[in-house]
Structure 1
C-alpha cells in the first residue's frame, strides 16, 4: 500500500509540487500559523532520506579526490558566481540576488542519489559528495551568504549554522548510522515506509512557505514572470555546464552522470527554510520557484544522459525510478 502510494507521489511530483505552491498562496493565513513546524518537518525529511546512505562513499575520497573537489567547487564557487552575475545584470534588487545565490549555494539534493542510481552513475562518488557537502553546509552557506549580503544587511550567522547542523547534518548522520548498524536493512524496511511521508513533508514545506510570498504571487507581473524564467534558465545551465565540463574532464560516463545530477540538483527545501527564517519575503521567491523545475529537469536530463551514455559509455538508464526516498 505505502509502496504504491510512494510510486504515485513520485510519478506526479512535477504536478503536485506547483499545486502545493498554489494551495499555499491561496490559504496564506493558515500557512503563516504553521511556519514554526517547517524546521521539524525538514529534519524528519532529511533523516528519512538519509536512511539509504552509508559511509561506503567516503572511500571514494582516496580514489577520486580531484573529482570530489571539482564537484564541491562547482556547487559552491562556480554556480554561485555565475548566478550572482546573471541576477545582478537582469535585476536591480539586492534581496532577489541573495535569493538566487542561496538557491544554488545550498547542498546538493539527496534525490540526486535516486537519479544517479537510475542512470547507472557512480553511486559511491555520489554518496561521498552528498555526505561531504552536507557536513560542509553549516560553514559554506553562511560564508557565501556573508559575502553576498555584505554589510548592508545583518544576518545571524551563528543561528544559521546551528539551524543547518540540526536540520541537515545531525539527521543525515543519524540516518547513516542507522544504515550502518542495520547493515542496510533499515533502508529496505523503515526507509521504504517513510518514503511517501517524506514526499508529503516536502509538499507541506512548499505549501507553508509559499504563504510568505503570497503577496507577490497574487498579482501577475513582469517581475514575477522574469524571476521564474531566470530560475528556470539557471537550473538548466547547471545541468548543461556539468555535462560539458564532465565530458572534457573525464572519460568515465558513470562519473559524468554522477556529476550532472549532483551538480544540477539542490536540497531546495533547506534553502526555503533559510530564506523564510533569515531574509525578507522577496528573497524566498527564487528559492521556492526552483521546486517547480527540479524533478521535471531531472527527468529530462535522465533522457539526455541515456543518449549520452549510449553514444559514449554504452550504458542505458533504467526505465523506472527506484522506490527510494525522492
Structure 2
C-alpha cells in the first residue's frame, strides 16, 4: 500500500467475516504528509460502546490537511466494528478486544482484529493515542493516562492539555501494553461516558490530538488547551459505598475536594436511614458513577491524589479496574 505525499487514502482491510460470509473491515484513513516527520496513530472505539472517540476522529480528519502535514497520520475511528454495531463494549463472542493484544492471525475474532491493528497500524509508529470513555454507568473527567516514566509519552501527554495526566499501570493484553512491547508509547485518553456523544470531552480530545501533532512538529498551528495546564497525578483510588440506597452525590468530576468534605449520602427508600461519606484526604474527582441507586461495595467516586504516596495495608490503593478499563477490561465479578 502506498500513499502519495500530500495525499489521504481511505482503506478498509478485512478483519473478520460473519457466518453468512459477509466481510467485516477495519476502516482507516492514512494521511501522508509532504515532508518527513513522525508516524502517529489515533484509534477509537476499541470498546464498541465508547463513542466519543468516533466523533473526535471525524473532526480530526476535517482539520488535518495532508498537503501541509509533516509525517504520517493513521486514524482508525472504530476498531471494534462489530461491537459498535451492537452498541456493546465487547465483541459478539463476549471477548474484550482490549484484553486480546497482540492477537494472532489464526485465533479468535478478537485476536485476529488485534493482530490486524498491530500489523497495519501500530508497528512502525512513533507514538499513538487511544481514545476511550468510562465504562457503563460511569463518567470520566477528561484525562490522559500513561507510564509517566516514559519521557516521550509524558511530554506528549502534557502537551495534550487535558485537565489531568494520570500515571497508570500497564494491563496485560491491552493495546497500550502490546504497543509498548514494540517500543511504541501510547497515550490513553479518557473522557465522558459510553453510548453517547459528550461535547466537552470530544472538544478536549480534538484539541489535545492537534496539540500533540504540533508538539511533534507535524502541523504548524494548534488550538489552546481547553482547560489550561494539566495536573500530573500518580495515584488514584475508587471510593465505595458502605451502605446501599438512593445516592445523593455532592461532588462532580473535575472537582477538587478537601479532607472532611461530604462526597455523597446514601438514603433508604423511606428516608429513615442515611449514611454520609466524607473525604478522608485531599484529592481530585476524575470519575464517578452515574447510577442513582447503589449497593454496598459499589464504586462511587474515583479520586486522584496529589503527590507521590505509598499506600499502607489499612488504606490500600485500588487498581483502576474498569477505567484503565475503561481502558483495559470489564468490572471485576
Shorter-normalised TM range:
under 0.3
Larger Rg: 2
TM-score by length of 2: 0.26
TM-score by length of 1: 0.26
Structure of greater relative contact order (alpha carbons < 8 Å, 6+ residues apart): 1
Greater percentage in helix: 1
Greater percentage in strand: 2
